[in-house]
Structure 1
Amino acid sequence: MAMMVKNLKCSSCGSPLKAKEADLVLFCTSCGKTMEFLDSDVGEVSPHILAPDREDKDLVYLPFWGIDAEVDVTHEDTVGGFLRLTKKPMRGACRFYVCAADLLPRKTAGWNLEFTRNFPKAAEAADFRRIPRMPALKNSRTAEKDAEFLFLKHEIDLSGTLQELEYTFSILGHELYYIPFLRRGDDLSPAV
């Protein structure tokens, strides 16, 4: 069986794209555009790089997809429990944040839910300012599926025991965010 190799080129200027090992986000060194690897091609994406609240030598940027979706719940049935007033149901136009870094889900699940409920307010930086970034191992299509799972997890956590849920989850778009984290050994915490 013969294997085909395809050189990826920038959709803006046509220059060859190079990536860090296993990174699905590619930066064109010629024109500065950012691309995401989708199947066997690339698509342009505009990254948002959040500025850290303080400078530190132990900063690293983690990639998060911001997935915009329209959520329409047409029927739900729960048994027991009560609606927690601190958590609002996710309905209508929502943005879900999904970590795309190569980290264990038990580590990223809390960040995904925290950022989805309350995204940090931070200025945007022009670039990474020589701060390392983790590769993105999820493209936007994979993150869209994770966003729907995040919605379902949120609904289950709201109240009682969820018995039935009928809904539509329509993807409206996506954006890529690089969020600064402080690294202390194996521990990571948001730096915004």
Structure 2
Amino acid sequence: MALLVKNLFCRGCGSPLKAKEADLILFCPACKKTMEFLDTDVGDVVPHIFAPKSENKDLVYLPFWRIDADINVTHCDTVGGFLRITKKPMRGLCNFYVCAADLMPRRTAGWNLEFSRSMPKAPEISDFRRAPHYPVVKNSKTAEKDAEFLFLKHEIDLSGTLQDIEYSFAVRGHELYYIPFIRRGDDLSPAV
């Protein structure tokens, strides 16, 4: 088996790109453009960095893909249960947040659902202000599949027992968000 090595170049200025170990996000040192490594090429990414509520020495940024999807449910059968007043069905254009850091899914599942149900609000900043950040290990294509799973998880949580659902899930776009968290030992909690 042969290993093919390909040089990657900035889509904006043509400068050679160097990847940090295990990070699928590439920052061009010349023009500051941000790109995502996709299989054998790079694609444009719009990064957003949320400002923390307050500065903290234990601050760390976790990457989340925001997947914008148009959802059309044409049929849904449930048995038992009831619709919770606080949770509404996801229909039309929805935003899903999917953690892209190398963390166990059982750890990130709650954040993904929480952020998808209620989009975090925070002013944006231009850089990490010397705070560390986790590398992106999940590309946008994988995050799109995870977003569809989040939609189905939300529908199951709403109903008693979901028996049947027919729907379309059309991805309209994606953006990368770095959300500040406070790290205390192995515990991480959102700082927005």
Task: Pick the TM interval, shorter chain.
Answer: over 0.9
Quote the offset at 1:136 in angstroms: 0.5
Task: Give 3-state SS (helix, strand or coil) of 1:151's partner.
Answer: helix
1:72 partner SS: strand
Any gaps of 5 or more consecutive residues in structure 2?
none
- What is residue 139 of structure 2 aligned with on the other side? 139
Q: Which residue matches 2:105?
A: 105
Find out whether 1:76 has 2:46 as its counterpart: no
In the TM superposition, what is the alpha-carbon distance from 1:70 to its structure 2 partner?
Answer: 0.4
1:7-156 equivalences under 5 Å are 7-156=7-156
Q: What is the TM-score when the length of structure 2 is the normalising length? A: 0.98
1:168 maps to: 168
Cα separation, 2, equivalents of 1:18 and 1:189: 31
Q: Aligned equivalents of 2:2 and 2:159: distance in 1?
A: 54
Instruction: Quote how far apart the aligned CAs of 1:86 are.
Output: 0.9
User: 1:39 offset after TM fit, Å?
Assistant: 1.0
Letter matched to residue 69 of structure 1? A
- With normalisation by structure 1, the TM-score equals 0.98
Secondary structure in structure 1 of the residue aligned to 2:157: helix
Counterpart Cα distance in 2 of 1:18 and 1:52: 29
Deviating beyond 2 angstroms after TM superposition, the runs of 4 or more aligned structure 1 residues are none
Amino acid across the alignment from 2:29: T
- Partner amino acid for 1:68? D
Aligned to 2:157: 157
Q: Secondary structure at the match of 1:157?
A: helix
User: Residues of 1 paired with 2:119 and 2:80: CA distance?
Assistant: 31
Can you give the 5+ residue segments of structure 1 that lack an aligned partner in the other structure? none
Q: For 1:33, give the aligned amino acid.
A: K
1:177 Cα deviation (Å)?
A: 0.3
Q: In percent, how many aligned pairs have the same letter?
A: 77
1:19 is displaced (CA, Å) by 2.1
SS in 2 for 1:76: strand
What corresponds to 2:184 in structure 1?
Answer: 184
Cα offset, 1:161, TM superposition: 0.3
Give how far 1:57 is off. Answer: 1.0
